[in-house]
């Protein structure tokens, strides 16, 4: 049990669909992250929230829209995605600070048809 | 640019020792992390090094040389359950993690 949960675990969607990924952390952390993991590529940081405020947006296309209603929940809203967006989307949390390890959820395996 | 290099895949025998290397070039350095990721699962934290030298934690040890931009993860007394990908990540001057692509470790009986 990692303390970070993600739903759904698997998602197949068409390019015109709208869907949302959900992440919840039960660790009392104040920083949350969205990553994209593609096969044989490094983890790509997408968004960072510290104390519910977005502090990083690494040139992510606008078809990905994050939402952080409170320090325990993080959403990634998806709209008009492309097949190349198919990947594993990982959520992580940590205590905001320099050297604090990140705890990861199990990820959502997304396939865009 | 920022870059983390580690071998794509390694194979080792059960009971043996394996060393997974990681070299990095980043804008600033605020520590290096190693994570383990089993197929289909979340990455889990293994170790953190910010000073030069060796950190030992049971069967796993991690070494850092900041002057060489180099780290390794040493796994002893390999077990079949150690088959996984091992991710190296460096925290840069903005306290963001820069990740390597991971090393897939295959353990053979």
Instruction: Count Cβ atoms within 10 A of the Cβ of residue A25 and give its class: 0-12 exposed, 13-18 middle, 19 or more buried.
Output: buried
E strand segments, chain A: 4-7, 10-13, 18-25, 31-37, 44-50, 53-57, 64-70, 73-79, 87-94, 103-104, 108-112
Question: Over the stretch A45-55, which tens digit does the pLDDT of each residue have?
Answer: 999 998 777 77
Q: Flag whether residue A4 sits within 8 Å of chain B, measured between CB atoms.
A: yes
Could you read off the pLDDT tens digit of each residue along chain B, which spans 109 residues? Answer: 789 999 999 999 999 999 999 999 998 999 999 999 999 889 999 999 999 999 999 999 999 999 999 999 999 999 999 999 999 999 988 888 899 999 999 999 9
The Cα B47–Cα A34 span in angstroms is 22
Structure tokens at B19: 């060393």
For an interface test with B, give the residue of A42, A48, A54, A90 to mutate (most B CBs within 10 A).
Answer: A42
Q: Flag whether residue B31 sits within 8 Å of chain A, measured between CB atoms.
A: yes
Cβ within 8 Å of B, A 23-52: 40-45, 48
Phi first, then psi: give them for residue A16, nearest 5 degrees: -100, -5
pLDDT at A51: 79
Nearest CA among B87, B109, B107 for reference residue B24: B87
Residue A74 in contact with residue A67, Cβ under 8 Å? yes
Nearest to A42 among B30, B48, B101 (CB): B101
Q: What is the DSSP letter of B88?
A: E
Q: Give me the sign of the Cα torsion angle A107, A112, B3, B8.
A: positive
Question: Over the stretch A58-97, which tens digit does the pLDDT of each residue have?
Answer: 789 999 999 999 989 999 999 999 999 999 999 999 987 7
**A-chain residues near B42 (CB < 8 A):** 2, 4, 90, 104-107
- Within 13 Å and on the Cβ side, how many CA atoms surround A38? 8
Find the angle CA(B40)-CA(A112)-CA(A42) to the nearest 5 degrees: 50
């Amino acid at each position: 049990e990692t303390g970070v949960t993600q739903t759904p675990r698997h998602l197949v969607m068409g390019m015109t669909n709208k869907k949302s990924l959900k992440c919840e952390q039960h660790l009392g952390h104040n920083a949350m992250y969205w990553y994209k993991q593609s096969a044989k590529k490094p983890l790509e940081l997408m968004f960072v929230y510290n104390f519910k405020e977005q502090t990083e947006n690494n040139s992510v296309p606008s078809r990905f829209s994050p939402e952080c209603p409170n320090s325990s929940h993080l959403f990634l809203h998806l709209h008009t995605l492309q097949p190349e967006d198919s990947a594993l989307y990982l959520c992580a949390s940590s205590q905001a600070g320099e050297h604090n390890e990140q705890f990861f959820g199990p990820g959502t395996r997304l396939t865009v048809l | 640019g920022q870059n983390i290099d580690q071998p794509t895949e390694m194979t080792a025998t059960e009971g043996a020792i394996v060393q997974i290397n990681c070299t990095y070039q980043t804008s600033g350095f605020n520590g290096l992390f190693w994570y383990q990721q089993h197929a289909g699962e979340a990455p889990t934290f293994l170790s953190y090094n910010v000073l030069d030298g060796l950190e030992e934690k049971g069967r796993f040890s991690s070494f850092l040389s900041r002057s060489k931009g180099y780290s390794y993860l040493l796994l002893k007394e390999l077990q079949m359950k150690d088959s996984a990908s091992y991710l190296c990540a460096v925290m840069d001057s903005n306290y963001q993690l820069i990740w390597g692509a991971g090393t897939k470790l295959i353990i053979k009986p």
